[in-house]
Chains A and B, each alone.
Chain A
Amino acid sequence: MSPRGLRPRLLVAFVLVTVLGAAAVAWSGAGSASTALVTSAQQRLTETVAAQIAAVAPELASPPDQSALERLRAAVGRNTLVVYQDLRSADGSVSALVTDALRSAVRDQKRLMAQRITAEGTPWLLLGTPVMTTALDGARTPSGIEVYAARDLTAVEQEIDDMTGSAILTAALALPLAVVLALLAARSVLRPVRDLRDTARRLAAGDLDARSQPQGADELADLTVTINEMARSVQTSMAAMRRMQADARRFAADVSHELRTPLSTLTAVVEVLAMTADGMEPDARESAELAITETRRLVRLVEDLMEVSRFDAGTAQSRMEEVDVTRAVHDCLRARDWLGVAGLVAPGAVSARLDRRRLDVIVANLVGNALRHGAPPVRVDVSASGEQVRVAVTDNGPGLPEHVLPHVFDRFYKADAARSRTPGSGLGLAIALENARLHGGTLTAENIDGGGARFVLLLPRDAEVR
Chain B
Amino acid sequence: MKRIWPVVALLVAGCGVQPSGVDDGGEAPTGVAPGVTLYFVDARGELQPQLRETGRLGTVSEALNLLLLGPGGSNLRTEIAPVSTPRVVVTTAPDVIRLLVPLAADEVTPRGIGQIVCTTLGVHVQSGGARDMKVQIRFTQTTPESDVERTCPLIR
Contact = CB atoms under 8 A, between A and B. Distances in A.
A116 B18 contact: yes
A446 interface: no
Contacts of B1: 1, 12
Nearest to A119: B19
Interface stretch (B96-104, B105-113, B125-133, B137-145): B125-133
Contact of B31 (A26, A38, A54, A118): A54
Given A57-B31, A59-B56, A115 B26 contact: no
Interface residues on A, range: 35 or more
Interface stretch (A105-113, A431-439, A454-462): A105-113
Most buried by B among A19, A47, A112: A112
A131 B31 contact: yes
B118 to A, nearest CB: 9
A133 interface: yes
* Secondary structure dominating the interface of B: loop
Given A57-B32, A58-B58, A136-B155, A113 B25 contact: yes
B136 to A, nearest CB: 21
A313 interface: no
A80 to B, nearest CB: 13
Contacts of B122: 136
Contacts of B55: 61-62
Contacts of B59: 58-59
A23 B25 contact: no
Interface string B1-21: 110100110111011111111
Interface in B45-73: 49, 55-59
B30 interface: yes
B29 A114 contact: no
Contacts of B22: 99, 101-102, 105, 113-115
A19 B1 CA distance: 12
A136 B98 CA distance: 20
A134 B57 CA distance: 10
A114 B23 contact: yes
A161 B15 contact: yes
Given A115-B21, A127-B25, A23 B7 contact: yes
A123 B11 contact: no
B18 to A, nearest CB: 7
B30 A57 contact: yes
A199 interface: no
Interface residues of B, number: 45
B34 interface: yes
Given A129-B25, A129-B29, A161 B19 contact: no
B30 A131 contact: yes
Contacts of B10: 27
A46 B15 contact: no
Interface in B80-120: none
B14 A27 contact: yes
B25 A54 contact: no
Contacts of A153: 17
Contacts of A114: 22-25
A112 B58 CA distance: 23
Contacts of B128: 54, 57, 132, 134
A112 B25 CA distance: 5
Interface in A71-130: 99, 101-102, 105, 109-118, 123, 127, 129-130
A118 B19 contact: yes
A136 B33 CA distance: 11
Given A57-B31, A62-B55, A105-B22, A27 B2 contact: no
Interface string A205-223: 0000000000000000000
B26 A46 contact: yes
Nearest to A84: B32
A117 B29 contact: no
Contacts of B33: 58, 62, 133-134
B31 A58 contact: yes
A138 B126 CA distance: 8
B21 A101 contact: yes
A118 to B, nearest CB: 5
Most buried by B among A1, A64, A143: A143
9 contacts: A19-B4, A58-B123, A60-B56, A113-B23, A116-B18, A131-B28, A134-B127, A143-B32, A153-B17
Given A23-B7, A62-B57, A133-B32, 14 more contacts: A12-B1, A23-B11, A27-B11, A50-B28, A111-B24, A112-B24, A115-B21, A117-B19, A118-B19, A131-B29, A133-B33, A133-B126, A134-B31, A145-B32
Interface of B: 1-2, 4, 7-8, 10-12, 14-34, 37, 49, 55-59, 122-123, 125-128, 131, 154-155
Interface of A: 1, 12, 16, 19-20, 23, 26-27, 30-31, 34, 38, 42, 46-47, 50-51, 53-54, 56-64, 99, 101-102, 105, 109-118, 123, 127, 129-136, 138, 140, 142-143, 145, 147, 153, 156-157, 160-161, 164
10 smallest CB-CB distances across A and B, nearest first, come from: A57-B31, A132-B30, A53-B29, A112-B25, A143-B32, A58-B57, A123-B17, A164-B15, A114-B25, A54-B29
